[in-house]
């Protein structure tokens, strides 16, 4: 079923009409949406609706709203992070310019709302209320992430709250939306939200881990990219919390280094992580969240056979290596 | 009634809760909303709803959605235009930074949708459909305006279409929204939209005129600011269309001048406008739109006494000198 869902989504996404004129406004939307990606969020929405009905295909348009919203956040985040590449291709502000990326992004957010209007009208107040909250929280997460860059370190709890806002709540909303669209009872859609937030938090911790401990051949991105950029990941935050004596000195020297060999820095900081057992700590935290997400899924009042496709999809996310 | 409406709006705006944390996200929203302005758009919404009901105060929250949306566009436009000041105060990207202005603006757009949810739920599909279209059109107008900056000139029809999108449709939506909220029949809300678009177009032409022919003491902004910046206003477009021989040479020399005395340029270009009778042409075009707007208002199936407050408000807009 999952492959049928992904086919449906990609067909719908390819067929979306975004407006035509002026082209500077709408071409970047077509461009970023065509860069692909796993279509993870709308797949979660449809897999979630499929827990309750076989007629999930009717929900493709509102499901795509979360993908359009996600890509809107990428377009604006890429400006703020001055990122040159997205999925191996030039970012919108690079290919066009920052003004185009601001304005196209704004229209994308409007498009996301327009797609949500394809839900049954009696459900709009509930859906929009939850979507608005989620959208504001994603912005809060991005602002916190930028604020953290200017701090020497942040408490673990603040970091986990930031990734909950920036990444996890949208996965929560994606699953919840599928339940709402399929007329699931509130107790069930609440559990779906919980599932998504937990899986999303684990997902981001996995990202932090893969950056350092992923296999280059499978990972796709440059292994150690976060280390080179001093990005405040869970790993760095725990290392800064735990390092003492020589280890602390070494870590801080690399964090302050201006002229350095990238490979050497990655090797040295990874070495610090290994000395402090950071990998196991991060894996434990990640597994805690994944386990909680799977327990929420277990608790759903839906026959086990119906749960299988969503469970398989989530297991795949848990075990991904890129 | 209009003063009661403005008091209600300002009280509601002052009392809006936007979220608190992180402050970089929400302070700029409070800041730009507190800079004042005429609250023109939500006043139009409530005056419009007052055509059909005395219970207009219940619509204050959805009315404020258009004010929040308008200020969102100002926040993002100011980044794109690199504007240092807004209503005499530093713009958000100047006071904080461009990233804060991008992200706070995004949250403001979400806030506008959240305020629209305060409308009666059965009206949401209609209201949101129309709002989405209007919001996308405003972005189209801004993109066209930026595109025009790079062109030597643009046809009059393209300019009028641009100001319709960038400025007028939001005034149209503001009036239409008031009618929808007050349960007016579609034929009436359509007329209200037409009224707003026509008045809004005239309003922007008035702006173009005041920049050159306004009295400095009343105008507030620097008279001739558009001339100094070579801004493609209706006046400049008509002058470029009509100028021939020496007049064309003079105009083009001033447009290409790099080192110039601002006062002298304003005087010289105004002189060109006078030779070509541009003021009368712009006034005719403006009056055409105002007259059409007032005819739409006449055509509304509402007792004349009920129309008076809206008519007075619009007449005031027509005769403003700043």
A contacts of B24 (beta carbons < 8 Å): 143, 147
Residue contact A110–B129, C-beta within 8 A: no
pLDDT at A201: 98
**CB neighbours (10 Å) of residue B30?**
14
A contacts of B22 (beta carbons < 8 Å): 140, 143-144, 147
Interface list for A 39-78 with B (CB within 8 A): 76
- Chain A residue with CA closest to B99: the answer is A80
Residue contact A121–B117, C-beta within 8 A: no
pTM, two decimal places: 0.96
Tens-place pLDDT, residues A124-180 = 999 999 999 999 999 999 999 999 999 999 999 999 999 999 999 999 999 999 999
Residue contact A107–B139, C-beta within 8 A: yes
A16 touches chain B (CB under 8 A): no
In contact, B179 and B140? CB cutoff 8 Å: no
B109 touches chain A (CB under 8 A): yes
- Chain A residue with CA closest to B138: the answer is A107
Average pLDDT over residues B232-251: 97
Tens-place pLDDT, residues B13-60 = 999 988 889 999 999 999 999 998 899 999 999 999 999 999 999 999
Interface list for B 219-258 with A (CB within 8 A): none
Q: Per-residue pLDDT for B1 more than 90? A: no
B143 touches chain A (CB under 8 A): yes
Q: A216-251 burial, b if ≥16 CB within 10 A, otherwise e?
A: eeeeeeebbebbbeeebbbbbbbbbebbeeeeeebb
Residue contact B109–A107, C-beta within 8 A: no
A contacts of B140 (beta carbons < 8 Å): 19, 21-22, 25
In contact, B216 and B262? CB cutoff 8 Å: no
Q: Per-residue pLDDT for A322 more than 80? A: no
Q: Residue A99: which of B80, B105, B124 has the nearest Cβ?
A: B80
Tens-place pLDDT, residues B205-215 = 999 999 999 88
Q: Per-residue pLDDT for B6 more than 70? A: yes
Residue contact B113–A128, C-beta within 8 A: yes
Q: Which of B113, B39, B124, B27 is nearest to B75 (CA)?
A: B27
CA distance A90 to chain B (A): 20
- Chain B residue with CA closest to A106: the answer is B106
Pairing of strands A89-90, A85-86: antiparallel
A12 touches chain B (CB under 8 A): no
Residue contact B22–A136, C-beta within 8 A: no
Percent of chain B scoring above 90 in pLDDT:
92
Give me chain A's average pLDDT, please: 95
- Chain A residue with CA closest to B113: the answer is A132
Q: Residue A135: which of B22, B110, B132 has the nearest Cβ?
A: B110
* Domains of chain A with CATH codes: 2-319 (1.10.600.10)
Tens-place pLDDT, residues A231-281 = 999 999 999 999 999 999 999 999 999 999 999 999 999 999 999 999 999
Tens-place pLDDT, residues B79-134 = 999 999 999 899 999 999 999 999 999 999 999 999 999 999 999 999 999 999 99
- The token pair that represents B284 in the structure block: 């005719």
Q: Per-residue pLDDT for B306 more than 80? A: yes
Select from A19, A106, A119 the residue whose CB has the most chain B CBs within 10 Å, as the one to mutate to test that interface: A106
DSSP for residue B164? I
Percent of chain B scoring above 70 in pLDDT:
99
Tens-place pLDDT, residues A5-41 = 999 999 999 999 888 899 999 999 999 999 988 999 9
Select from A27, A61, A77, A139 the residue whose CB has the most chain B CBs within 10 Å, as the one to mutate to test that interface: A139
CA distance A25 to chain B (A): 7
B22 touches chain A (CB under 8 A): yes
Tens-place pLDDT, residues A62-79 = 999 999 999 999 999 999
Q: Residue A110: which of B99, B132, B144 has the nearest Cβ?
A: B132
Tens-place pLDDT, residues A196-231 = 999 999 999 999 999 999 887 676 677 899 999 999
Residue contact B107–A144, C-beta within 8 A: no
pLDDT at B206: 96
- Chain A residue with CA closest to B135: the answer is A110
CA distance B277 to chain A (A): 32
What is the rounded CA–CA span in Å between residue B231 and residue B226?
Answer: 5
Q: How would residue B166 be classed by pLDDT, with cut points 50, 70 and 90?
A: very high
Q: Which of A77, A74, A83 is nearest to A36 (CA)?
A: A74
Residue contact A140–B76, C-beta within 8 A: no
Q: Per-residue pLDDT for B255 more than 90? A: yes
Long-range contacts (CB closer than 8 Å, 24 or more residues apart) made by B231-234: B232/B148, B232/B149, B232/B151, B232/B153, B232/B154, B232/B159, B233/B208, B234/B156, B234/B159, B234/B160, B234/B205, B234/B208, B234/B282, B234/B285
Give me chain B's average pLDDT, please: 95
B79 touches chain A (CB under 8 A): yes
For residue B124, the SS3 value is helix
pLDDT at A320: 85
B contacts of A139 (beta carbons < 8 Å): 25, 103, 106-107, 110
pLDDT at A219: 66
Residue contact B103–A142, C-beta within 8 A: yes
Residue contact B109–A106, C-beta within 8 A: yes
B contacts of A129 (beta carbons < 8 Å): 114, 117
For residue B259, the SS3 value is coil
Tens-place pLDDT, residues B210-236 = 999 988 767 667 789 999 999 999 999
């Amino acid at each position: 079923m999952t492959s049928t869902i992904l086919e449906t989504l990609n067909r719908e996404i390819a067929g979306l009409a975004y407006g035509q004129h002026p082209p500077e406004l709408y071409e970047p939307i077509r461009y970023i949406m065509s860069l692909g990606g796993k279509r993870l969020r709308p797949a979660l929405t449809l897999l979630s609706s499929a827990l309750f009905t076989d007629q999930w295909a009717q929900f493709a348009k509102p499901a795509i709203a979360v993908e359009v919203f996600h890509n809107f956040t990428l377009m604006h985040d890429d400006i703020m992070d001055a990122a040159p590449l997205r999925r191996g291709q030039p970012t919108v502000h690079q290919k066009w310019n920052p003004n185009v990326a601001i304005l196209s992004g704004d229209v994308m957010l409007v498009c996301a709302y327009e797609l949500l209007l394809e839900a049954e009208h009696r459900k709009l107040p509930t859906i929009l209320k939850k979507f608005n909250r989620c959208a504001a929280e994603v912005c809060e997460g991005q602002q916190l992430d930028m604020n953290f860059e200017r701090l020497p370190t942040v408490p673990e709890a603040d970091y986990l709250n930031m990734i909950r806002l920036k990444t996890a709540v949208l996965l929560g909303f994606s699953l919840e939306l599928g339940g709402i669209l399929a007329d699931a009872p509130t107790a069930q859609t609440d559990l779906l939200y919980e599932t998504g937030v937990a899986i999303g938090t684990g997902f981001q911790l996995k990202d932090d881990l893969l950056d350092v401990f992923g296999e280059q051949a499978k990972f796709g991105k440059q292994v150690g990219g976060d280390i080179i950029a001093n990005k405040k990941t869970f790993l760095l935050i725990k290392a800064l919390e735990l390092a003492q004596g020589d280890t602390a000195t070494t870590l801080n020297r690399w964090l302050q280094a201006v002229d350095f060999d990238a490979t050497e820095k990655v090797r040295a900081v990874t070495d610090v992580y290994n000395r402090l057992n950071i990998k196991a700590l991060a894996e434990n935290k990640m597994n805690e969240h994944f386990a909680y997400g799977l327990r929420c899924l277990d608790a759903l009042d839906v026959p086990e056979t119906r749960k299988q496709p969503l469970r398989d999809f989530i297991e795949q996310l848990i075990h991904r290596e890129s």
